[in-house]
Amino acid sequence: MLFQRVRPSVTKHLYVRPTIWMPALAIVLFLSIYLPFASMLVQATSPQTTVAAAPATSKPAAPAATSPVAGAAAPTPDTPPAPSFPNCSPLSFGMPSQLSLANAPVGLSVQTDAPTQYQIYGNTASELRTQIRHCAPGSSSSTGAEYTGQTSYNLSWQYAVSVGANCSAQNIKVGVHTAIALPYWQPTGNATSGLAGRWQLFATNLGTHEQGHVMIDKQYAAKLLADLNALGPVDCGSLNSAVNDIVNRDVAALNQTNDTYDAQTNHGATQGAILPTY
């Protein structure tokens, strides 16, 4: 008997319980969960959906004696001068799709997308920070993006139900699909002296931070697989709730681990993901 669960796309802070349908010979249950992973990009969304890194703040573009907040970006001036470079295009960064587990082998399936890049332009740190606020995922005409990078994942599972005196989950499959969005800047001959090197260091470290979230997502997908495999036979009427308890517990632990990682690294700042300020 196949038992499968589906969780539809949800916004952050919304953890929706899926509906269950049961054919005559099979129960299908497919669960899909969207979560954030290396530092929050938009605070209006929940860490259960995305995680973003390198915050963008309103600090002025000037040399700083102390380390700025990771990815801090300067605001747009009240009367900005006409730029000598193109305007960036806001990135529409969708959630990674749910992996199809129907033909997947038993065990863990992982898909990690190549980073999606959004192009920014400028010749000074202030211009780069302004463009990030306008074009990073989560930006809008009225609200600038709060973070420069974003990581998100989609977690799903499927299992067969063995029916006897009790029921057990067998042939368990878990899938995790991760995606990252990062800024991309190509320096020109008009760029501020030394800016290219400072940007490259920031971009490299931001990528490292986001990959840390990807590793956390994969680790907890593997933990979910192990925990589901460890579930022994239970009363058939309790199998659904037993599986849900395991999933909810592991998802909560995954969210907390991502949050802790961001807190410990200051969204990548301690790893060197600090946007140039000059």
Phi-psi region of 243 (alpha: psi -120 to 50; beta: other; left: phi over 0): alpha
pTM recorded for the entire structure? 0.73
Phi and psi at residue 197, to the nearest 5° = -65, -40
Summarize pLDDT for 224-248 with one digit per residue, the tens: 999 999 999 999 999 999 999 999 9
Measure the CA–CA gap between 101 and 218, rounded to whole angstroms: 16
Averaged over successive runs of 10 residues, the pLDDT of the chain (278 residues) comes to 37 26 32 34 29 51 34 44 74 90 97 96 96 88 83 95 94 97 95 97 98 98 98 95 96 95 96 96
